[in-house]
Structure 1
Amino acid sequence: MGSVIIGKHTLESLTSGMYSDPYVVFREYIQNSADAIDGAVSGGILPAGGGLIHITLAPGEGRLSFSDNGTGIPADQAERTLISIGNSKKSARTDRGFRGIGRLAALSCCSTLIFETSYPGEPVRTRLAISGAELAAQLSSGTAEDAAAADVLQNIYTVDTLPERAEAHYFRVELEGVDQAAGLFRLEDVLNYIAQTAPVPYDPAFTWGREIESRLQKAGCPVRHFEVRLTFGPKTYSIYKPYRDEFPMDKGNTLTDRISDIELITLTGGDGSPSAVGWVARTGYLGRIPDKSIRGLRLRKGNILIGDGQTLNAVFKDPRFNGWSMGEFFVVDPLLIPNARRDNFERNQAFLLLLEQLRGVAAGITKQLRGASLKRNAQLSAALDQTGQVAKAAAAALESGLTPGQKGPLARQLTDARQLVCQAPIHSGADASSQEIAFEELDLLLGTLRGATSYKSINALNHLSHTEKRILERVFNAIFSTGSESANSMVDAILAAFAP
């Protein structure tokens, strides 16, 4: 029987082919660092909570680096471990990264990929450099099409053993010659991706975060999180999950919703033990949450995001309602295994059972948001009534001329009325039409109010700007303050001059 050859183009499939989104390099290296820190804690090398994952973006140098203070790799195992493909000693049941292919994810977007590691008690560090540029050349070459992947790798890396402090323990990844087109230096996007994907803690300002952690602890499913920092130029950022107590529901931040409670939900596996424990936020369900970083129920394994905020759309009878929802489910069943791309789980019996229970969760959310909408339908009617009263009062004040101190309170009443209409639900074309008419009326009145004066005659000069009207108001005030018998005739003459 002939020997089996794994062709060189397998390397292309394992880099640019498998990971179409270049941002996955952040997930892959962060999850490897998290596993290394867990190993250091369990081995007594680090105290609990003593781990640190540090990322550096240096766009001017075309360099991106990751480092952790985990166990590192022993010198006699480093080369074999780092250059092997799909030959990881990690367990799918306990580790976040276990297939042994993610470490090569960055080869498609940099010219050189460097690994440096040191193991406690060894006075050396291992440095292994892989040429991404040479790999690309080998893959694009028309020669040696039958070359084995192992032979290609053997020719594109170097390894060195260098002195190091015996007490040092770490693992570093450096990407040199990073392709600027990959977008890996876009600070805001990188921070947002890591905040959603990585096993980072909740923001201290998110008061429900402490409650979630407390309830998960009481449920016997504490969730591990890690300190992740990112340095960009002179500034270093601590990264947290993006959830917050209150969140905007429109681009202008005029309408907000907030979390009123957290429901803890335990899902069970075939043997009755927990398969996942999660939290679902109870909100006002005012509509689809605009912020993609917090929108949708999410699945996490080892506190690493699996998929994204749309992955669980399928468990809702109306998929759009996942966009009205917010929450996380932390998978604890070892039979639930993320697939190679980490965009979902392997489709086994444990996963099908999880989906079935998540459909029940989705049905409960749908029932709650429909109930909230029905309740708000009555609010729409009440809001429109209040809008009519406020609009009538404002129109009357504008008709007669504003008295001193009247403009501010009227503007606040009109703004509050608009907020009430905005918060009310829309379930039909009639509702939408009524809301649109109310918005237009309130916006027109607010605009008129901004330029309104205490003189009805000036307010009627619609062709003048707000500033011009206020200047005329000051002129009229000055004329009437003189007490002259000709004040009225002077004002009439000015109005005639400004008439359209």
Structure 2
Amino acid sequence: MSAVFTQVDVRALAPRPRPIEESVTVGKDILELLTGSMYVDPLVIYREYIQNAADSIDEAREAGLMFNEEAGVVISFNHAERTIILRDNGASISAADFVHRLVNIGASQKRGKKLRGFRGVGRLSGLGHCQELIFRGRVEGEAKVSEVRWDGRALKEKMRDPNYSGDLATLVKDIVTQTRVPGDGYPERFFEVEMRKIIRSRNDILLNEEAVRNYISQVAPVPFSKEFSFAKAIEARLTNHGVRPPINITLNDGRGPIYHRVQDRIPFSDTVTDTIRGVDFIELRDSDDEICAVGWIADHSYSGSIPKRLGVGGVRLRVGDIQVGDEAILAPLFAEPRFAGWAVGDIHVLSSKILPNGRRDDFDATAAYIHLQGELSFHTKAITHRIRERSGQRNQLRSVQQHFGAVDVWLNAVAARSMPKIVLKVIQELSRSRLECVTKEAAKFAPGSEELLATNARVAQVAKMIEGLPAHGKGKGSNVLLNTDLEHPISMVLKTILSSTKTPDAGIELSLQVLKALETH
């Protein structure tokens, strides 16, 4: 008799899950994470506040509000007071909403509105770097200015106090105050962030105008310099794809507006400069064949890794024309990661499915982002191929220059001293041999390239100089020395000397010594 087994679904016997009944407490430590630990680089606070200002300016543009001056941000430094103020002329916040919007944490109203900031935490990024963080603003028609103050010193005291048991909401109420101040001296419509008593960081970088200017030129939605030859073409292409207009950002250092990091010239050093000769526009599509990103990559000589101090290198990723990550964000997509620093360009991500992570140092790891990386890898391969191709061209050019250099030294030596006929003949033949080497190397240059045209012109010039050598030397030499037979043993010795010594000039000098020794015998 066979056994009968009954299968029981244990899951059906388990109790059904139900919502928790306990109250949830968000502790005070979360505020420390948001203000001190979330962002590693202190300069990130400029990106966060400029990002919010750019969104406010876009809101003003869409609402048809007028700008008394260029739409943008003014950043003022007061070194004596260790204070920084960032003021924009965007839509601002009305008095009715001011406190509510500036004390809520992680409750942004921007999500889903195609604005740059949408998590509602970036505005607190400055609190960990100053003793007092102040927000001020008003909209047109309001007589007074609304003000909210976050006390950074009180925050640190309560964070260190083991007896303080308040949760996040209680902590915010304990360290934040509000007021309305007279509007005299303030613009009719504005919003500003003031950071008082900036805490010293490495190299006091937050109050370093040069460092701030360089950083903003990389990460912020600033315009290209009018002196950048490809500015109009890039701006037109981005506008066609819906990338919003840039904003004007100035510092109170008297140096005028900040422009995009890229210029025509890339100064590697005081003696080496590369030039951007063109830009390649690209469009990237998602798995539904919709455009998910657009951008441009500069064409230049790829002379080497661009010095990081310039803040120019790398193909950068941007969302809302705000940079995400840094110059090395695409390095993992290169066969040799070092090549990421050789290229220059921007890729603007347009897809709403590809979102920056909370720190904006990369993107959320979604299927859409992984697909974008796959599309970008085709372009990183093309960049790698171009780098190696340009390196080969530089090697060819160096070879050509070396051959020309040898010929120049020989011909200058002929002009500077009296030569026996056989030495002149040997120099003539060696010069022709060098020109043959030049011609072989030049054949590898691209047809019509500047290198090829310059080389051909130089070959013609040198060939004419070689043919113009005197028919015989002015030295008194013997019959042996006047022998013009290049297969003569003495000629062969001289050719060997000339082609084997470290420099052509040394070879000529040694040849003359050999000839002089032969004369005395």
**TM-score of the pair, normalised by structure 2:** 0.72
Q: Which residue of 1 aligns with 2:228?
A: 206
- How far off is 1:164 after superposition? 3.4
Cα-Cα RMSD: 2.3
For 2:42, give the aligned amino acid: P
State whether structure 2 residue 354 is matched by structure 1 residue 336.
yes
Between 1:259-268 and 1:118-127, the stretch displaced more is: 118-127
- How far off is 1:56 after superposition? 0.5
Give, in whole Å, the separation in 1 of the partners of 2:33 and 2:416: 70
State whether structure 2 residue 179 is matched by structure 1 residue 141.
no
Cα deviation code 1:151-171 (max 9, x no counterpart): 111101110023438992211
Q: Retained in 2: the 8 A contact 1:49–1:226?
A: no
Cα deviation code 1:97-125 (max 9, x no counterpart): 11110111111111110000102233332
Q: Retained in 2: the 8 A contact 1:71–1:169?
A: yes
Q: Which residue of 2 aligns with 1:295?
A: 313
Cα deviation code 1:74-117 (max 9, x no counterpart): 11111111011101101255111111101111111111100001
Q: Retained in 2: the 8 A contact 1:41–1:48?
A: no
Of 241, 254, 272, the residue aligned with 2:289 is 272
SS at match of 2:87: strand
Between 1:100-109 and 1:240-249, the stretch displaced more is: 240-249
Q: Which residue of 2 aligns with 1:75?
A: 95
Give, in whole Å, the separation in 1 of the partners of 2:176 and 2:170: 11
Q: Which residue of 2 aligns with 1:227?
A: 248
Going from structure 1 to structure 2, the CA distance change for 1:397 and 1:246 (only over 3 Å counts) comes to farther
- How far off is 1:394 after superposition? 6.1
Give, in whole Å, the separation in 2 of the partners of 1:306 and 1:283: 24
Give, in whole Å, the separation in 2 of the partners of 1:134 and 1:395: 81
- How far off is 1:49 after superposition? 8.6
After superposition, residues 383-398 of structure 1 pair within 5 angstroms as 383-392=401-410
SS at match of 2:230: helix
- How far off is 1:66 after superposition? 0.5
Between 1:46-55 and 1:9-18, the stretch displaced more is: 46-55
Give, in whole Å, the separation in 1 of the partners of 2:134 and 2:187: 22
Identity of aligned residues (%): 34
State whether structure 2 residue 389 is matched by structure 1 residue 367.
no
After superposition, residues 89-488 of structure 1 pair within 5 angstroms as 89-91=109-111, 94-144=114-164, 146-164=165-183, 168-181=188-201, 182-217=204-239, 219-232=240-253, 235=254, 237-249=256-268, 251=269, 253-291=270-308, 292-392=310-410
Going from structure 1 to structure 2, the CA distance change for 1:140 and 1:389 (only over 3 Å counts) comes to farther
For 2:284, give the aligned amino acid: L
Question: Where does structure 1 lack aligned partners over 5 or more consecutive residues?
Answer: 401-423, 425-500
Give, in whole Å, the separation in 2 of the partners of 1:215 and 1:209: 10
Give, in whole Å, the separation in 2 of the partners of 1:202 and 1:48: 22
For 2:220, give the aligned amino acid: A
Q: Retained in 2: the 8 A contact 1:62–1:180?
A: no
Give, in whole Å, the separation in 1 of the partners of 2:187 and 2:153: 35
State whether structure 2 residue 50 is matched by structure 1 residue 30.
yes
Give, in whole Å, the separation in 1 of the partners of 2:53 and 2:131: 23
- How far off is 1:220 after superposition? 3.1
Give, in whole Å, the separation in 1 of the partners of 2:407 and 2:288: 61
Q: Retained in 2: the 8 A contact 1:121–1:167?
A: no
Give, in whole Å, the separation in 2 of the partners of 1:214 and 1:71: 26
Q: Which residue of 2 aligns with 1:407?
A: none
**TM-score of the pair, normalised by structure 1:** 0.75
SS at match of 1:311: coil
SS at match of 1:184: helix
Q: Which residue of 1 aligns with 2:76?
A: 56
Cα deviation code 1:235-285 (max 9, x no counterpart): 253100121112223x2x322221121110001122222111000111112
Give, in whole Å, the separation in 1 of the partners of 2:68 and 2:243: 14
Q: Retained in 2: the 8 A contact 1:8–1:139?
A: yes
- How far off is 1:379 after superposition? 1.8
For 2:65, give the aligned amino acid: I
The number of residue pairs the alignment matches comes to 396
